[in-house]
Every structure is written in C-alpha cells, then in structure tokens.
Amino acid sequence: MARRKRKKARRRGRFFLRLAVLVLIIWGFAGSLLLSTHRIRIESEKLPRFVSGFTIAQLSDLCGSAYGEGNSFLLSRLEAEEPDLIVLTGNLVDGRDPDIPAAVTFVQQAGEIAPCYFVTGSEEALLTDAQLDALLTGLRDAGATVLRNEWYMEGPDSVLVFAGAEDPDMTHSSRSRLDEGIMRTALASMSMPEDRYRILFSHRPELLQAYADFGYDLVLTGHAKGGVTVFPYLGGLYAPDQGIFPRYVSGLYHRNGTTMAVSRGLVALTFPLRFWDPPELVLIELVHKD
C-alpha cells in the first residue's frame, strides 16, 4: 500500500513538473510576441543641465512588422511617451519582401510625434538600387533625416551631435560578412566637434571597440534581436554577425568612456523564434550628472 502511494506521488510529481515546463515554454514564446518598453537613463557630466530630460525613442529591426493596422499600436505607444526624437537604427523593411510605401507612411506618421532620424541596416543592404532609392527618397520626403556617414547638430544651442553610420553591408560589393575596416573608414570620414556630447546611430553592436576608439559618448544599435532565444544565466543563443552565445544582445555596454545601448528590436516573428526575448521600444533619457 505504501509503495503504491509512493508511485502515485511520483507520477503526480512528474505530471506537475511537465506541466510547469510546458507553461514556461508557452509563456516564453507568447511573451516574446508582446511589445515591451525598455527605459534607459544616461547620465553624463558633458550634458548641460538644460538638456536633462531629453528623450530619444529608439526603433530598431522592425523588418516590416506591423503592430496593429498601419502600426497604429506602435504609433500610439510613441505618442503616449512624447519623445523629443525618434531614431530608426536600421532594418526598417524586410529586405527580401519590402513594403516601402508602408514603411514611408509609418515614418511620416511617426514624424508628427517627433523628428525622425534613420540609418541603414543589413536588411536595407538587400534592396535593389531602385528599391533603396525609393525608400530613402520617400523617408526624406516624409520629413526624416537620413544619415549616411553624416552628422547633424541638434538640441538646445546645438549641444548634441547626432552621427549616423551607414551599415557596412551597404558599401561591400559582395554583400558578404561585415568588415570592421569599412566601419572604421566611415567613422574616420565624419569630422565633428569634440566639445559636444556625441551620439552615434549605427546598426551593428559588435563594433563597440571601433565606436570607443573614435570617442563617441553614446551609441545606439540593434541587429542582435536580443539573442533571439534567451536562456536564464546563459543569455542569448544567437545573433547575426556574432554567432552562438553573442556578447552584445540588449541593454548597456561600456568601453573606454563610450556607452552603447543595444535594442532587442521590434520584429516579433523571426527565425529562430524569439523565446524569453520580447520585442521592445527603447526610451533613452539624457540627464546631466553633477
């Protein structure tokens, strides 16, 4: 009788263990389809007091995804946050099946909330010349500032410098694996004031050392999609151009005075499927540090 009770208890224990694992798996996948908001506070002595509170909304790796019809849900989230600037750090469209009119319309509507800046990503590198021209022309006509290895002074009294790096795949004739030398050449071509707080918009997080070598204060990147499949204590499983167990997947990283913020991106349906890795809208608040 006692043995039978022990067997029944073990069977019941195994059942609840399997049920718990199943719930965690379903929760992990389902939660990775829900848009989250990641708030980041950046403090620096180089930021004057009157800049404190300046907020940048970062959108990365949308890849043609839609949150509601015409991205109405994403736009409503942006409007509610009232950012001072919206930055699209690459992969706005799906390079293999681009819906350029939809992308342009979205950016035009986002521009009614705050000024928009755009830099290219690896998906834009897959576009034909005609498609790329249509996208960039459409974005400019929609009021967005497209930065292709260019910089612009913004903010009260122009104390902020925004620089935008072209994705290396855009200039690599074979569209092959990223060459760090291309990025370093691009960064070297942008001569800008060094007495300002300098923010770089770039798609690639794996080039932190290059960004730090050129002395940027803050760098906003994406591309890694949070590691796609996230395991507790181990982190992300895979990221493009970083491979298995990537180093730079989400959040803040620091190198020689440079801070890099990596967005998990917005594309919800990707391969491999996201797991414990919700897409995110990133909000970065700049604050003067005493």
Q: Exposed, middle or buried: residue 3 (CB in 10 Å: 0-12, 13-18, 19+)?
A: exposed
For the stretch 80-131, pLDDT in tens is 999 999 999 999 999 999 999 999 999 999 999 999 999 999 999 999 999 9
Q: Which of 67, 7, 9, 63 is nearest to 37 (CA)?
A: 67
- Confidence band of 171 (pLDDT split at 50, 70, 90): confident
What pLDDT does residue 261 have?
98
> Does residue 16 carry a pLDDT above 90?
no
Tell me whether the omega of the peptide bond preceding residue 272 falls within 30 degrees of 0, making it cis.
yes
Q: Which fold has domain 32-288?
A: Purple Acid Phosphatase; chain A, domain 2 (3.60.21)
Handedness of CA 149, 152, 155, 157 (dihedral sign): positive
Across the range 18-23, mean pLDDT stands at 44
Across the range 57-71, mean pLDDT stands at 94
What pLDDT does residue 277 have?
80
Does residue 73 sit in helix, strand or coil? helix
What pLDDT does residue 195 have?
85
Amino acid 290 reads D
Q: Exposed, middle or buried: residue 207 (CB in 10 Å: 0-12, 13-18, 19+)?
A: buried
What pLDDT does residue 18 have?
53
> Does residue 151 carry a pLDDT above 70?
yes
> Does residue 5 carry a pLDDT above 70?
no
> Does residue 176 carry a pLDDT above 80?
no
Question: For the chain, where are the alpha helices, taking DSSP H only?
Answer: 2-31, 72-81, 100-110, 129-141, 180-188, 208-213
What pLDDT does residue 29 have?
45
Across the range 230-245, mean pLDDT stands at 79
What pLDDT does residue 194 have?
83
- pTM score of the predicted model: 0.88
Q: Which residue bears the tokens 């935008």? A: 164
Average pLDDT over the chain reads 86
> Does residue 158 carry a pLDDT above 90?
no
- Confidence band of 69 (pLDDT split at 50, 70, 90): very high
